[in-house]
């Protein structure tokens, strides 16, 4: 049978990728630890200006959309095909590293350069996107740019103010966006053929398994709850052990039970964490009267999370009865998990396997892909994170591994460009 498959010639230039990553690492707030480039700051704008230059040199037509996203566009040969988009982000958390988000944007630019150098024309238009402010921001929102692109940034969110008094609406204008046009220009289902993202794993799985590439099966959903345990504060010296209503010992049972429930083997991986905890009145000689803590459970299967929370809440009722405490559970948020379509996973897996040792794994962290998934099929490739560390200065991926990720992404792009079936 006739096949359209051409020999792959887009091998990325590792040295150029390394230079790009190192260059962005110089455009950071030196007064903060690590490599800090918070959105809407001078360092962010400096990085953006440099990225724009890189995009232009790679032959991309550069624009900034209503949400401030920096977009480089390369027209394809078949006008009726909707674009394939490659994106990530270049903002960092405070005290963050040099790779999170950054490698995904650099990867897109490197692929554009290789297309240019080899005189390769794609059928689909290619868009390389540096999404505005992906990390949790002072406005209490993350993935600001990708939200805006899919029309999921509300008027209320645009009016929020950070500690410095900056209104999000103004911040977006500062980097060249125009919030007034976010809704009319938002992309709709079918406007994008496919969204692809290369990212560091931010966890230890690939390194532990000695794998070079990860095919992301989906992005976990996150359910968060606030638990309030009410007991009775009393004198720690005069109240006998059998006459206490100690909120902290009750809360401790709950914290351990969450760990137990999440340690069982389920059909998909689960993690559960109590990361925020306060004890009142918090005095050395006072029996704790009230504990407030927040817990979250993450899994790609929301039914597993629901089942865990149902068991947890039954257990909480037992502890409340046994210890005569008041225990309340309030849901704070539920974000849905994203599943990568099986045929998208297969094509990415083929591209990854042709490049290096590959395994499937879910993403335990959220990404811009979460937002894009509301309008288009999405696919993600992970490269290893040394010791699984991320959002810290120690965050590291060998440049050779980043280059493998870029190659796998380029192979995936070519595979999809040649025979991807449009979905509506």
Under the criterion CB under 5 A, does residue 101 sit at the interface with Zn ion? Answer: yes
User: Among residue numbers 124 through 163, which ones bind Zn ion (CB under 5 A)?
Assistant: none
Q: Which lies closer to Zn ion via its Cβ, residue 100 or residue 296? A: 100
- Per-residue binding string, Zn ion, 52-91, x by CB under 5 A, is ----------------------------------------
Q: Which lies closer to Zn ion via its Cβ, residue 10 or residue 378? A: 378
Q: Which lies closer to Zn ion via its Cβ, residue 27 or residue 327? A: 27
User: Cα(104)–Cα(197) distance, rounded to whole angstroms?
Assistant: 6
Q: Which residue is nearest to Zn ion (CB)?
A: 101
Q: Which lies closer to Zn ion via its Cβ, residue 262 or residue 408? A: 408
Cβ neighbour number for residue 318 with a 10 Å cutoff? 12
Residue 104 near residue 87, CB atoms below 8 Å: yes
CA dihedral (168, 172, 178, 183) positive or negative? negative
Give SS3 for 148.
Answer: helix
The reply to whether omega before 268 is within 30° of 0 (cis) is no
Binding-site size for Zn ion (CB under 5 A) equals: 2
Measured from the CB of residue 199, what is the shortest distance to Zn ion in angstroms? 6
Under the criterion CB under 5 A, does residue 366 sit at the interface with Zn ion? Answer: no
Q: Which lies closer to Zn ion via its Cβ, residue 101 or residue 221? A: 101
Residue identified by tokens 């990568």 is 340
Measured from the CB of residue 43, what is the shortest distance to Zn ion in angstroms? 17
Under the criterion CB under 5 A, does residue 100 sit at the interface with Zn ion? Answer: yes
Give the E-state strand segments of 238-340 in sequence order: 270-280, 286-287, 290-299, 326-335, 338-339
Under the criterion CB under 5 A, does residue 288 sit at the interface with Zn ion? Answer: no
DSSP run (H or E) holding 73: strand 70-74
Under the criterion CB under 5 A, does residue 203 sit at the interface with Zn ion? Answer: no
Q: Which lies closer to Zn ion via its Cβ, residue 105 or residue 319? A: 105
User: Cα(298)–Cα(300) distance, rounded to whole angstroms?
Assistant: 7
Under the criterion CB under 5 A, does residue 39 sit at the interface with Zn ion? Answer: no
Q: Which lies closer to Zn ion via its Cβ, residue 92 or residue 415? A: 92
Q: What b/e sequence results for 130-157 when a residue is b if at least 16 CB atoms lie within 10 Å of its CB, and e otherwise?
A: bbbbbbebbbebbbbbbbbbbbbbeeeb
Measured from the CB of residue 366, what is the shortest distance to Zn ion in angstroms? 9
Under the criterion CB under 5 A, does residue 384 sit at the interface with Zn ion? Answer: no
What residues line the site for Zn ion (CB under 5 A)? Answer: 100-101
């Amino acid at each position: 049978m006739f096949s359209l498959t051409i020999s792959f010639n887009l091998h990325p230039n590792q040295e150029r990728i390394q230079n790009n990553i190192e260059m962005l690492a110089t455009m950071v707030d030196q007064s903060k630890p690590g490599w800090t480039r918070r959105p809407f700051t001078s360092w962010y704008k400096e990085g953006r200006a440099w990225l724009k230059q890189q995009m232009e040199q790679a032959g991309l037509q550069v624009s900034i959309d209503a949400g401030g996203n920096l977009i480089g566009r390369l027209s394809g040969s078949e006008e009726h095909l909707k674009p394939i988009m490659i994106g990530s982000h270049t903002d960092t958390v405070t005290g963050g590293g040099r790779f999170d988000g950054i490698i995904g944007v650099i990867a897109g630019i490197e692929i554009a350069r290789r297309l240019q150098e080899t005189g390769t024309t794609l059928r689909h238009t290619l868009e390389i996107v540096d999404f505005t402010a992906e990390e949790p921001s002072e406005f209490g929102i993350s993935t600001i740019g990708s939200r805006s692109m899919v029309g999921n940034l509300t008027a209320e969110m645009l009016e929020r103010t950070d500690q410095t008094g900056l209104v999000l609406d103004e911040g977006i204008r500062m980097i060249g966006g125009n919030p007034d046009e976010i809704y009319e220009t938002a992309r709709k289902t079918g406007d994008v053929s496919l969204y692809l993202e290369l990212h560091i794993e931010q966890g230890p799985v690939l390194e532990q398994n000695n794998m070079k590439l990860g095919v992301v099966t989906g992005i976990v959903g996150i359910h968060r709850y606030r638990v309030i345990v009410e007991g009775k504060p009393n004198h720690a010296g005069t109240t006998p052990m059998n006459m206490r209503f100690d909120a902290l010992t009750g809360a401790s049972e709950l914290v351990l039970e969450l760990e137990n429930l999440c340690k069982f083997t389920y059909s998909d991986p689960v993690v559960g964490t109590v990361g925020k905890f306060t004890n009142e009145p918090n005095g050395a000689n006072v029996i704790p009267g009230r504990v407030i803590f927040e817990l979250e459970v993450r899994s790609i299967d929301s039914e597993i999370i629901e089942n865990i929370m149902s068991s947890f809440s039954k257990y909480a009722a037992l502890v409340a009865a046994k210890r005569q405490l008041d225990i309340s559970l309030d849901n704070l948020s539920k974000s849905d998990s994203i599943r990568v379509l099986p045929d998208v996973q297969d094509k990415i897996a083929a591209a990854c396997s042709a490049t290096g040792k590959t395994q499937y794994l879910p993403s335990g962290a959220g990404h811009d892909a979460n937002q894009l998934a509301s309008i288009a099929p999405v696919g993600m490739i992970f490269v290893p994170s040394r010791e699984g560390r991320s959002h810290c200065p120690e965050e590291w991926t060998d440049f050779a591994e980043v280059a493998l990720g870029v190659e796998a992404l380029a192979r995936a792009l070519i595979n999809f460009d040649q025979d991807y079936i449009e979905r509506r």
